[in-house]
Chains A and B, each alone.
Chain A
Amino acid sequence: MIAAEARWRSWLAPALAPLMAKELIELAGAKRTYVLRVGYALTMITLFVMLHGGVFARLARGDTSVLGEGRALFDALVLWQFVAIYLLLPAMVAPQVPLEEEQGNLDVLMCTRLTRVEIVLSKLLPRLVVMGSFLLTTLPLMALAYLLGGVERERLGVAAVCLGAATIQVGAWSMWRGAKVHGTARALLSAYVIGLSTLFIVVPWLTMIAWSLCGLSRQPSGIAAVMYGELVRTPDIGRALIAGVPILVSAVLFLVFACRALERRSQTISPDMERHLGRFRPRLVGRRNGRWIVQRWRGMKRSVPTHQPVAWRELQRLPEPVRERSAFSSKFAVWVLPWLVLAVPLDLSIGMQRSVAVACVVSFFMAAAIVLVVAHATGLFSVERARATVGLLLISPMSTRVIVEEKMVASEQVCRMAGWLIAMAVAAEWLVELARPRLETLFVEPALALAAAWVLPRLAAWAALVVGVYIGQRLQATVTGLVLLIAWCVAPVLGASVAQASGAPEAVAQAIGALSPAYLVALIEWTQTWRTLPVAAGALLLQSGVLVALRGAALRRSDALLARLG
């Protein structure tokens, strides 16, 4: 008892930030923090050994030519650290405020004398400390790279500045999205899909304008990872610090936005309130010819089959633009067209052999579609479990197979709408390719891109459904789904690198790599040669086979699958 009091007295003594102290103590006490840190270190070491083990083998053989190769190893390590920051930090920071709200603590905290700034910083800084501790686990590897020579002290400093700036910027951005959006899953999606895409477009653009206004052209961009690439050509810590100013300014702005969003949070309509107000709740107003007539809040009527109640419910849970083709056309098209309007002339003007800007758009839509569908499908059953309605489903006369099939109708709708987006972008790309017609880019590549847009999100959806059933808890299921998605993207690429390093033919390495959706999309959208496109087609066929097998297994074993929910 005394120990407990002493512990709290000791950390509560600086009464300045009790919430931060609590967060730090909880994070330090959580086993998850240690497991993740060890996992992070092991991943980095594995990557290092797999990709650069040959260097040490040569060193062991006394081959002195490896001396001086430390620079390449160091830069690779820094690159992976950036990837880790952009992938992990939003997941760590964005759900913090929604979680407090879902646990019923946010209003209580807001009524204390803690200021909004204090709440935001207390939630953010401990996660930055944890992220920093992750980054520090690679110090031994960096020391090894340093020992091999070629890494100047200035380069170390520039790396530290850029990694620090990236951590602060991404953390601040994620905090803003978390404070702005209700619900953990929405916060995660907002931080990843909207957040990172905007971070890579709006911030560099504003930075460029700011530098121009200062009369300083050709200054580094406002993206820390890109800034590192620009600065290490002639490493200079002073220049790195100056270049980091826009990044810090953007981070401060994001934190100001986060505080304002927190202040106005109670004023906005949360998903619970939406449901309560019935604003988006459709009402059954009749039944005609075996179909329900559904009236929504705007008075619009539509009919859905009465024999698919679960599918109907799931479709109603989707946002209106995804659910309704008309709303999709009017809203999503408005978002998509500006991208294409910008990208198509850009591609036509740069005069390269293939489209670049539109290919970026296609790749981004493909990635966004897969992430969205994973986030949606992992929640299909965990939402039922959280609302304790899963029992009602299981005791209904419907078979488990039908339940699973109907649940997936909504994911299918998400895939379909994402497919429309991608198809629009592919059509724009085709128009660009007309300017420099080649057989493979006019016919093969669009066909493969459309096939990938059909197969990959659906495969991700079925895998995510299984993950959601196994994990049960919504947030954990979504995060696990996204982590597995990252693993699906990264592992085959590593396998390809290992195969290439061990002397396997290039086609074999490419075939292994094509199992990754990221690599597959890159093969289709970027490489586009007669050697790579068949590899991509083969990989797509394989992924389709996996999709059929996974779907079949999930439906055949639906009894056992859903028994886990009980």
Chain B
Amino acid sequence: MSFVVVDKLRVRYGKFTAVHDVSFEIPKGELFGFIGPNGAGKSTTIKVLATLIKPGSGRALVDGIDVAKAPGEVRRRIGYVPDFFGVYEDLSVREYLHFFAAAYRIDIGKRAGLVKDVLALTDLSEKEDAPVDGLSRGMKQRLSISRVLLHDPELLLLDEPASGLDPRARIEMRELLKELQRLGKTIIISSHILHELAQLCTRIGIIEQGRMVAEGPLDEIFRRLRLLRLVHVQVANPSEALLAGMRALPGVAAVEAGPDRMEVQLREGDVSIEDLHDGIAALGARIRMFQAEALDMETAFMKLTEGKTA
């Protein structure tokens, strides 16, 4: 059964409809990437799941619980990191986490150990006595994730966690998210950094003008869009005959020969990467390098959206 179910969700601000009949499902343990231009309705949908906004119509369920009917129960199961969050002045990292541990009603005897654990997980142990106000943006983001891990939620809602981060902080954030996924958390993440989401997410949803334009596992979306995947191949014995043989392989749209490698454009869904490898080897090629590029999410995004905001 899906851990998160959003069914024909509609949210209005006065006369303005921010989210139109959005539906998607996320199985437990998946990392769901929410993609869309500014103002598309990503944050609004995440806020509905975070129990901050009541749906106008439709429903949103977390672990089978309706967010509108039992928000308190849902709050026990979620951790929400908003796109913009502040910090309280004059608090150290540890004090900040102790405060939120109390706000999450965690037993006082367990708090110190728990705070140490989440600081270790987010690699902030060395900063535990540093004032929160003085942390870098990347550290504040990690602290924010520490905060939501305090009550061990099953679902993490991360609204643009990578925005404004430098490259190092982004890589650290990505590794942290992978670690959280390994721990079995279901994660919904909205971001503009498409290639990072491609590396992380098991499913994506593309939203524009408040409507979901595509949703599902990445491979499926690419198959549906019939996008081409690029594979770099380097062989020890290049020849015209080999090139012609590769072009004739099923699923291959084109092969371009470069000075040291060949670029194979593969029609996603027609043939798997492994079958392509076997096919080239069967043609007698002595393969030195075989590298498939990550699925081109930017192309998918541009193909599916028109750049309009809600």
Interface, chain A (partner B; CB < 8 A): 1, 4-5, 8-9, 12-13, 15, 18-19, 21-22, 26, 29, 102-105, 107-114, 266-269, 273, 276-277, 279
Contact of A105 among B51, B86, B151 (CB under 8 A): B86
Q: A107-B82, A269-B14, A276-B39 are in contact. Are A5 and B94 (CB under 8 A)?
A: yes
**Closest residue on chain A to residue B157 by CB atoms:** A111
Of B47, B53, B54, B90, which one neighbours A29 at CB under 8 angstroms? B90
CA distance A227 to B51 in the complex (A): 43
Verify B86–A266 contact, CB threshold 8 A.
no
Tell me the B residues contacting A by CB distance below 8 Å.
Answer: 13-14, 16, 39, 47, 50-54, 72, 75-76, 78-80, 82, 84-90, 92, 94-95, 98-100, 102-105, 108, 111-112, 129, 147, 151
Docked-complex contact B90 and A26, CB < 8 angstroms: yes
7 smallest CB-CB distances across A and B, nearest first, come from A103-B86, A18-B102, A104-B86, A112-B103, A104-B85, A266-B52, A111-B80
A-B contacts, 5 listed (Cβ < 8 Å): A21-B102, A26-B88, A111-B75, A112-B103, A113-B72
Q: Is the CB of A107 within 8 A of B50?
A: yes
Shortest beta-carbon distance from B310 to chain A in Å = 8
Residues of A contacting B90 in the complex (Cβ-Cβ under 8 angstroms): 26, 29
Nearest residue in A to B15 (C-beta to C-beta)?
Answer: A279
Q: Is the CB of A279 within 8 A of B16?
A: yes
Task: Give the Cβ gap from B2 to chain A, nearest Cβ, in Å.
Answer: 22
List, in ascending order, chain A residues with CB within 8 A of B100's CB. 112
Q: How far is the CA of A21 from the CA of B94 in the complex (A)?
A: 16
Please, how many angstroms separate the alpha-carbon atoms of A103 and B89 in the complex? 11
Give B45 Cβ to nearest chain A Cβ, in Å. 13
Distance between Cα atoms of A267 and B80 in the complex (Å): 17
Q: Which residue of A lies closest to B111 (CB)?
A: A12
- CA–CA, A5 and B92, complex, Å: 10
With contacts A107-B82, A112-B100, A267-B53 taken as known, whether A4 is within 8 angstroms of B129 at the C-beta atoms is yes
Considering the chains assembled together, what is the distance between the CA atoms of A113 and B112 in angstroms? 19
The residue that B54 contacts in the complex, of A113, A267, A277, with Cβ under 8 A, is A267
Q: A178 CB to closest chain B CB, in angstroms?
A: 17
Contact A113 B76 (CB under 8 A): yes
Residues of B contacting A15 with CB < 8 Å? Answer: 102, 105, 108
Residues of B within 8 A of A111 (CB): 50-52, 75, 78-80
Question: Closest CB-CB distance, B187 to chain A, in whole Å?
Answer: 16
Residue of B nearest to A101 (CB): B86
User: Nearest Cβ in chain B — how far from A81, in angstroms?
Assistant: 31
B16 touches A1 (CB 8 A): no
Chain A residues with Cβ below 8 Å from B111 are 12
Tell me whether A273 and B13 are in contact in the complex, defined as CB-CB below 8 angstroms, given that A22-B88, A105-B86 are known contacts. yes
**Most chain B CB atoms below 10 A, which of A22, A26, A102:** A22
Chain B min CB distance to A109 (Å): 7
Q: Number of residue pairs across A and B with beta carbons under 8 Å?
A: 92
Q: Assuming the A-B contacts A5-B94, A111-B75, A111-B80, are A266 and B85 also in contact, with contact meaning beta carbons closer than 8 angstroms in the complex?
A: no
A120 CB, nearest partner CB in chain B, Å: 15
Chain B residue numbers with a CB within 8 Å of A105 are 85-88
In the bound complex, residues from chain A placing their C-beta under 8 Å from that of B76 are 113
Whether A108 pairs with B147 at a CB distance below 8 angstroms is yes
Q: Which residues of B contact A22 (CB under 8 A)?
A: 88, 99
| A112 partner residues in chain B, CB cutoff 8 A | 75, 100, 103-104
Residues of A within 8 A of B51 (CB): 110-111
Nearest CB on B from A404, distance (A):
32
Contacts of B87 in A (CB 8 A): 105
Give the distance to chain B from A19, nearest Cβ to Cβ, in Å. Answer: 7
Name A18's closest neighbour in chain B (CB-CB): B102
A110→B129 contact, CB < 8 A = no
Determine the chain B residues whose CB is within 8 A of the CB of A276 once the complex forms: 39
Report which of B47, B88, B92 forms a contact with A107, defined as CB distance below 8 A: B47
In addition to A111-B50, A113-B76, 11 A-B residue pairs with Cβ atoms within 8 Å of each other are A9-B108, A12-B108, A15-B108, A26-B90, A104-B86, A107-B47, A111-B75, A111-B78, A112-B104, A113-B104, A269-B16
Interface contact B108-A108, CB-CB below 8 Å: no
Q: Which residue of B lies closest to A21 (CB)?
A: B102
Smallest Cβ-Cβ distance to A13: which chain B residue: B108
**Do A277 and B147 have beta carbons less than 8 Å apart?**
no
Least CB distance, A31 to chain B, in whole angstroms: 12
Contacts of A110 in B (CB 8 A): 51-52
Q: Are B103's CB and A107's CB within 8 A?
A: no
| Chain A residues within 8 Å of B99, by CB | 8, 12, 18, 22
* Closest residue on chain B to residue A279 by CB atoms: B16
CB-defined contacts of A8 to chain B, threshold 8 Å? 94-95, 98-99
Q: Is the CB of B13 within 8 A of A267?
A: yes
Question: Which of A4, A5, A104, A107 makes the CB contact (< 8 A) with B52?
Answer: A107
Question: Within the assembled complex, what's the spacing in Å between the Cα atoms of A19 and B98?
Answer: 11
**Nearest neighbor of B129 in chain A, beta-carbon distance:** A1
Q: Which residues on A sit within 8 Å (CB–CB) of B72?
A: 113
A104 vs B52: C-alpha distance when bound (angstroms): 14
Alpha-carbon gap, A21 to B88, bound state (A): 13
Q: Which residues of chain A are near B79, meaning CB under 8 Å?
A: 111
Return the chain A residue nearest B103 by Cβ: A112
- Give the residues in chain B near A13, CB-CB below 8 Å: 108
B80 touches A113 (CB 8 A): no
The residues of B that contact A9 with a CB separation of less than 8 Å are 98, 108
Are B13 and A268 in contact, CB atoms less than 8 angstroms apart? yes
**Given the contacts A5-B94, A104-B82, A114 and B103 also touching, CB distance less than 8 Å:** yes
Q: How far is the CB of B40 from chain A (nearest CB, A)?
A: 12
Q: Roughly how many angstroms separate A486 CA and B269 CA in the complex, as a whole number?
A: 74
Expressed in whole angstroms, the minimum distance between the Cβ of B272 and any Cβ of chain A is: 42
- B85 & A18 in contact (Cβ 8 Å cutoff): no
The reply to whether B86 and A12 contact each other, CB–CB distance below 8 Å, is: no
Contact assessment for A109 and B103 in the assembled complex, using a CB-CB cutoff below 8 Å: yes
Least distance between B236 CB and chain A CB atoms (Å): 57
Q: Are A19 and B103 in contact (CB under 8 A)?
A: yes
Residues of B within 8 A of A104 (CB): 82, 84-86
Closest chain-A Cβ to B300's Cβ sits at a distance in Å of 26
Minimum CB distance partner of B14 in chain A = A269
Residues of A within 8 A of B104 (CB): 112-113
Contact B16 A266 (CB under 8 A): no
Q: Closest CB-CB distance, B37 to chain A, in whole Å? A: 12
Question: Complex formed: what's the CA distance from A29 to B95 in Å?
Answer: 15
Interfacial chain B residues near A114, Cβ < 8 Å: 103
Bound together, the chains give a CA A48 to CA B92 distance in angstroms of 44
Q: Which residue of A lies closest to B11 (CB)?
A: A267
A-side contacts of B52, CB under 8 Å: 107, 110-111, 266
**Smallest CB gap from A25: residue in B:** B90
Q: How far is the CA of A26 from the CA of B111 in the complex (A)?
A: 21
The CA of A107 and the CA of B79, in the complex, are separated in Å by 11
Distance in Å: Cβ of B219 to nearest Cβ of chain A = 33
